[in-house]
């Protein structure tokens, strides 16, 4: 693994037509997925599943980087090549999820803050040695009656900033992910308001801490309707998302990679496509692409179900989804491509 500047790593991660595969499900989350499909939950099956995805021929045409989980970065292909080394050999940047989950925010019912981890600096050094060149930290902002509070937004942003500083000090690109959840029945206008407020706080703190924004990637939610609320068009999602970003995201930010936020595989392409088209029209200053987990993996996992004989057909399904997400990142996706 070569040493590169943060900016060079960012550039590779947001290369035209490519996006990130979020394969960083915790052991608890992957167990839920496996249980639902009757796949035995074991470290070896986790490894086999990730190997099926990572060794997909041609994946590197559409995937620029992969976010790994701690267990996965210590695992290898069947041939004994570490996953990080294997991905790097394909020109895919290995990354690592480093947050250790959520805890209740004391004194604020219904709100959560990502746990701080005093061992983070040591872990980042080890992950760099293992080949990781970017990291991800997720904060969660809930929308509900009287929430989020200013205190909760500020506390989550404070941890994101401390994490970003440590990453850059260790030669690792930080992905900062302040996810405003789509759970609930709020309107898209409320999502806009909370997303804007969160991003204002985040970038104020990042600038105050002298974090290099050109060596950082933002992983935000789209400004979108809630799961139980009234749906709006992809065009409105695109307009509100870019309006929000143009008001508060500094032009020097290295790149923006969207999370899918519970959207289905086709929905995540439709909304990204609408955003990408508008980006071209408005000539926005940032590179925008995708960082999808479920929206790239769901169909492939359901087809694979832990069976070796399903490996190649599952890889074809995964590659197809990656190709569609890539097309959407250019604004060239159509539902007929499904």
* Cis-peptide, bond into residue 148, ω within 30° of zero: yes
120 within domain boundaries: yes
pTM (2 decimals)? 0.97
Residue 76 lies in a domain: yes
Does 65 reside within a domain?
A: yes
- Taking phi over 0 as left and psi of -120 to 50 as alpha, with beta for the rest, 38 belongs to left
| Angle subtended at Cα 97 by Cα 142 and Cα 66, rounded to the nearest 5 degrees | 115
Q: Give the distance, in angstroms, between the CA of residue 317 and the centroid of all CA atoms in the same chain.
A: 20
Instruction: Specify the pairing of strand 112-114 against strand 102-104.
Output: antiparallel
202: in domain: yes
Share above pLDDT 70 across residues of the chain, in percent, rounded to a whole number: 99
* Residue 52 contacts residue 304 (beta carbons within 8 Å): yes
Predicted local distance difference test score (pLDDT) of residue 2: 67
* Domain total in the chain: 1
Give the active site residues: 177, 219
CATH number of the domain that 184 lies in?
3.20.20.70
Q: Token match 């769901």: residue?
A: 298
Per-residue confidence (pLDDT) for residue 205, from 0 to 100: 98
**Inside any domain, residue 1:** no
Let me know if residue 37 belongs to a domain. Answer: yes
Cα 288 from Cα 279, distance rounded (Å): 8
| Rounded alpha-carbon distances, angstroms, from residue 278 to 133, 298, 310 | 31, 28, 39
Side-chain-facing half-sphere of 107: CA atoms under 13 Å: 5
SS (H, E, C) the chain: CCCCCHHHHHHHHCCCCCEEEECCCCHHHHHHHHHHHCCCCCHHHHHHHHHHHHCCCCHHHCEEEEEECHHHHCCECCCCCEHHHHHHHCCCEEEEECCCCEEECCCCCCCEEECCCCCHHHHHHHHHHHCCCEEEEEEEECCECCECCHHHHHHHHHHHHHHHHHHHHCCCEEEEEEEECCCCCCCHHHHHHHHHHHHHHHHHHHHHCCCCHHHCEECCCCCCCCCCCCCCCHHHHHHHHHHHHHHHCCCCCCEEEECCCCCCHHHHHHHHHHHHHHHHHHCCCCCEEEEECHHHHHHHHHHHCCCHHHHHHHHHHHHHHHHHHHHHHHCCCCHHHC
- The bridge status of strand 93-97 relative to strand 255-258 is unpaired
Each residue's pLDDT tens digit, 187-222: 999 999 999 999 999 999 999 999 999 999 999 999
pLDDT of residue 276: 98
Query: Token pair of 296, please?
Result: 């790239």
Residue 226 lies in a domain: yes
**Which residues in the chain come in under a pLDDT of 70?**
1-2
CA 87/CA 99 separation, integer angstroms: 22
Q: Which domain holds residue 112?
A: 6-337
Q: How high is the pLDDT of residue 160? A: 98
> How many other CB atoms sit within 10 Å of the CB of residue 129?
10
């Amino acid at each position: 693994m070569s040493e590169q500047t943060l900016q060079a790593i960012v550039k590779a991660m947001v290369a035209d037509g490519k996006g990130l595969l979020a394969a960083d499900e915790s052991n608890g989350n992957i167990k839920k997925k496996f249980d639902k499909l009757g796949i035995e939950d074991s470290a070896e099956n986790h490894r086999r599943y990730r190997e099926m995805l990572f060794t997909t021929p041609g994946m590197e045409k559409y995937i620029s980087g992969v976010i790994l989980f701690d267990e996965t970065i210590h695992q290898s292909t069947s041939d004994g090549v570490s996953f990080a080394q294997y991905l790097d050999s394909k020109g895919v940047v290995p990354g690592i999820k480093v947050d250790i989950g959520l805890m209740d925010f004391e004194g604020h019912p219904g709100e959560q803050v990502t746990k701080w981890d005093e061992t983070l600096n040591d872990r980042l050094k080890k992950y760099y040695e293992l080949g990781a060149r970017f990291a991800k930290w997720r904060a969660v902002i809930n929308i509900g009656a009287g929430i989020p509070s200013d205190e909760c937004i500020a506390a989550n942003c404070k941890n994101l900033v401390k994490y970003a500083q440590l990453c850059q000090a260790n030669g690792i690109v930080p992905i900062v992910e302040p996810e405003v959840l789509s759970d609930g029945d709020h309107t898209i206008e409320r999502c806009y308001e909370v997303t804007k407020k969160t991003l204002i706080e985040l970038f104020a703190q990042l600038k105050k801490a002298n974090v290099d924004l050109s060596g950082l990637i933002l992983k935000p939610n789209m400004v979108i309707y809630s799961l139980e609320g009234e749906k709006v068009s992809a065009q409105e999602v695109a307009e509100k998302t870019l309006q929000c970003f143009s008001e508060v995201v500094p032009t020097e930010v290295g790149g923006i990679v969207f999370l899918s936020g519970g959207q289905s595989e086709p929905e995540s392409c439709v909304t990204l496509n609408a955003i990408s088209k508008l980006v071209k029209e408005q000539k926005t200053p940032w590179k925008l692409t995708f960082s999808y987990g479920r929206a790239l993996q769901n169909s492939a996992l359901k087809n694979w179900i832990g069976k070796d004989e399903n490996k190649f057909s599952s890889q074809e399904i995964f590659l197809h989804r990656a190709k569609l997400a890539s097309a959407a990142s250019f604004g060239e996706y159509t539902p007929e491509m499904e």
